[in-house]
A and B are shown apart, each in its own frame.
Chain A
């Protein structure tokens, strides 16, 4: 007889279908959602998922899954069950869950300074901007900026990013200069500081670019697609928004380096059906990816009916076509990413959180990003100030000159919204396999349904994200090449 024992020797006392046939495994917390009529997605507490046939799920849940099946081995190694052979799953899950929520302790990292509401564009979908020469009415003052900087530096976060928004922030460039200098002076090297100007680049000057180069300021611009589409979406005097953006991107790249210039697109009704041309535009400009974004349902977007002009289904069609095209590009050897998918995939395939404000739970409002508006008002998020422009200042947390850091961040509405919307404990979300990938968006749900939690069955946020989660998982399950590609996007 061999002095070595066979595999079956070590498999005694585990699972169902062994020995007396008494099932002997314990379920770990998990959630499941139907992927299609045959298959279910199961996710564990740390957000790892498995796709199983319905029958395996039922057998598993009813403690009768045979321990020798692949499904059993996969469930055990993904911490869905523990048995006589292993219980290290609890420790592994604890570490991963803790890592996933680590950012919460860092508190607010992104501080948005709306240095002016004025803009020389008049985009119909824009939520907030003003056509005005009157700087006193719509510009932030240096006194307000001082107070906002002090608030930003109260954040315990080691990395503080300051983003200048508008309007067109370059219309108040002197204040940008002032804020960068003052923040650096007050931080005295104690923080990792980052600065970004969100600008349409139409009025960018060499002086601005020189400043960006010297001070290490990045540029984020808007590019909605090819010339016709871009200029239609983004009208300005001279109808030359596109030309100015393109030339601005080139000049900015020359001045501060390619990696420090990024672009964002907004999907309008006119964009639908043109996703390939939009992606081609980004490719032609040598961007390494695109963020296929839906319109947010606020401000002028709602007033002008731009938002309602397309449904979730039409946007999803647009999104999926775009994603297919991006995958096809990669198959041809052209490395290019879709950034929304990348962020979701990071949640699905790693235990890190990408820190994307809309997909955070606890919600990203105030915890992820906070807005200091042109008039000194402090808002819980960019969406919150847009909601305020529509007359609902529910998420106005205070004022930089009137309220302390504690008053602003311990604002009752904020705390209530954060607690109520925590998706782990929200009705329907708590049972959803995709909860680990999703976020609480109390501002959007408040805006549309006057409720922090919202009715998920009527929530476009839920419908849109649920569809994307399922789509991404189906793609990975159907094609190993796509799973590899997506794994690299997740890093």
Chain B
């Protein structure tokens, strides 16, 4: 597991306010450019005047610091070993913290927009907080300006991003203007789009590659409302999805499978096939053992080996109707072979691990593995090394 946020040790400090900085190993970039960059080095400290900050991994002497001309120098722990040329970090001198906001080599860059939410899902991995954190938006707009235009894809999550209202729509337009070739995934509960005007406003952005990931946990409105802990959520979400369709905005449905969604999983997929056939993708997702899931673990946990046949049946309903379907967050040895074609290695690189018994598995390379949190807190007791099937 990669540690994306952590502490720094300040060696020299001249500014206090948080800044977004681009990581570089090159000390020789023109001085005029350096104000946006954090120069990252192991122990050598060449002249580094003009860099917004210097980040050192090893030990440096005061003499070196003096000679370098650097005004803001921080020492990083080993946990930041992954930082790479072009990555974007948030340095907060006031609290001596540093967070990696964007990693050039990662396919899983997700930007958190707010921790506020109008849902309170039983298995929320990012428990909502009732704090005014809308200041984040300004920083995100700045971050978007720094991200390289060749970036293939970018994700946004919350909390509930649509709580920003019109500012949410402006964000999407901003992303389109700065990163016109970048695919954008946004996680939202979709309820705000019950207002056709809001859906139309998003549609009017005409983002060339936008997909809203919306959860639909049951065809039974009561069960959906229960899972998200909010009365009336089901109807608003379904209306939102219909309105987004009218506004020509792409929608992906996401179903997290646990003991409370499993009883109607097949019926839910049938409901999608009969009513929301136009969705671009449906993701059937395993449980991440973090956030509220840990609090509700005994209520939610079921070993995937116990529902493998139900998963196959649910997936078949969707694929038989021609719906683009994926299975996320499952281990290959726990699903039936009939779903291999839609099985995806989905767990973000920074929180993806395997068990010791996986080392001898001949299909490890095809397996998505575990969330770090699963390894730590709860995983199937039925993990078995697999053998390669010789193709005939």
The one of A4, A48, A85, A95 in contact with B222, judged by C-beta atoms closer than 8 angstroms, is A85
Given A14-B222, A488-B320, A491-B321: A88 and B229 interface contact (C-beta under 8 Å): no
In the complex, A317 has a CB within 8 A of chain B: no
| 101-153 of chain B: CB within 8 A of chain A | 120, 122
A-B contact pairs, 30 of them (CB 8 A): A4-B120, A4-B122, A4-B229, A7-B222, A7-B223, A7-B226, A10-B222, A10-B223, A10-B225, A11-B222, A73-B220, A73-B264, A73-B267, A74-B267, A76-B221, A77-B219, A77-B220, A77-B267, A85-B222, A86-B234, A88-B238, A92-B238, A92-B242, A350-B277, A480-B313, A487-B317, A487-B321, A488-B320, A491-B320, A491-B321
Chain B 283-323, CB within 8 Å of chain A: the 1/0 string?
00000000010001000000000000000010011001110
In the complex the two chains form, is A76's CB within 8 Å of B220's CB? yes
Residues 65-98 (chain A) with a chain B CB within 8 angstroms: 73-74, 76-78, 85-88, 91-92, 95-96
Interface residues of B (CB under 8 A from A): 120, 122, 219-223, 225-226, 229, 231, 234-235, 238-239, 242, 260, 264, 267, 271, 274-275, 277, 292, 296, 313, 316-317, 320-322
CA distance A96 to B277 in the complex (A): 11
Q: Mark A1-39, 1 if CB is under 8 A from B, else 0.
A: 001111101110010000000000000000000000000
A residues at B contact (CB < 8 Å): 3-7, 9-11, 14, 48, 73-74, 76-78, 85-88, 91-92, 95-96, 350-351, 480, 484, 487-488, 491
Q: What residue of chain B has the Cβ atom nearest to residue A3's Cβ?
A: B120
For the complex of A and B, 8 pairs with smallest distance between CB atoms = A77-B219, A86-B221, A487-B320, A10-B226, A88-B235, A10-B225, A7-B226, A85-B221
Q: Which residues of B contact A484 (CB under 8 A)?
A: 316, 320
Q: Report the minimum CB–CB distance from A269 to chain B (whole Å).
A: 38
- Inter-chain contacts of A350 with B (CB < 8 A): 274, 277, 321
- Which one of B221, B225, B274, B321 has the greatest number of beta carbons of chain A within 10 Å? B221
Q: Is the CB of A92 within 8 A of B234?
A: no
Check A5–B226 contact: CB distance below 8 A: yes
| Complex Cα–Cα for A91 and B226 (A) | 23
Contact partners of A85 in chain B: CB under 8 A: 221-222, 225, 231, 234-235
Assess the B275–A92 pair: CB atoms within 8 A: yes
**Residues in A neighbouring B274, C-beta threshold 8 A:** 48, 78, 96, 350-351
Q: Which residues of A contact B267 (CB under 8 A)?
A: 73-74, 77
Known: A4-B122, A76-B221, A351-B274. A87 touches B235 (CB 8 A): yes
Using Cβ atoms and an 8 Å threshold, which residues of chain A touch B222?
Answer: 7, 10-11, 14, 85
- B256: min CB distance to chain A, Å: 15
Separation of A88 and B226 alpha carbons in the complex (Å): 18
Smallest CB–CB gap between A169 and chain B, Å? 36
Residue of B223, B229, B242 near A95 (CB, 8 A) is B242
B364 → chain A, closest Cβ, in Å? 32
A92 to B, closest residue via Cβ: B275
B-side contacts of A14, CB under 8 Å? 222
